[in-house]
């Protein structure tokens, strides 16, 4: 005797398997310069968030970061009239060292800029 194969697929029974509720996930808040390192899982995540926060702050204040990402000592070039120093003074945890003046080529013109160094973390 041969077995017959049912060609129609079995219908899904929604009464036996109720639909799961979707969980609304919150977007992670952007890291600020005053975030506590203990709130992050590891030091690498904290350092990358801290560096990204400083880059965002420098961009808002008409300044340029000339150090590659991930470095603890960050050199920043600021145009005249930039309020970056006053905004960084609100964070006494990160020491600021004024390095002097230099020139930067912006849109085909040389602009005098002030150079400062901010130490985000010690070490490398």
pTM of the model: 0.65
pLDDT by residue (tens digit) across 55-86?
A: 999 999 989 999 998 888 999 999 888 899 99
Q: Which of 57, 94, 51 is nearest to 70 (CA)?
A: 51
Counting Cα atoms < 13 Å in the Cβ hemisphere of 79 gives 13
pLDDT by residue (tens digit) across 13-69?
A: 666 655 665 666 777 766 666 666 666 678 888 888 889 999 999 999 989 999 998
SS3 per residue for the chain? CCCCCCCCCCCCCCCCCCCCCCCCCCCCCCCCCCCCHHHCCCHHHHHHHHHHHHHHHHHHCCEEECCCCCCCEEEEEECCCCCHHHHHCCCCCCCEEEEEEEEEEECCEEEEEEEEEEECCCCC
Largest CA distance in the chain: 95
- Record the tokens describing residue 29, joined without a space: 């808040």
């Amino acid at each position: 005797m041969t077995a017959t194969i049912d060609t129609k697929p079995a219908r899904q029974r929604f009464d036996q398997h109720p639909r799961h509720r979707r969980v609304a996930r919150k977007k992670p808040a952007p890291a600020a310069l005053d975030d506590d390192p203990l709130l992050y899982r590891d030091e690498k995540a904290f350092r990358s968030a801290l560096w990204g926060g400083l880059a965002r702050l420098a961009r808002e204040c008409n300044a340029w970061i000339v150090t590659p990402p991930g470095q603890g000592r960050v050199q920043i070039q600021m145009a005249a009239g930039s309020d970056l120093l006053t905004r960084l003074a609100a964070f006494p945890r990160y020491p600021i060292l004024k390095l002097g003046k230099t020139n930067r080529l912006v849109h085909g013109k040389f602009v005098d800029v002030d150079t400062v160094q901010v130490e985000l973390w010690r070490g490398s």
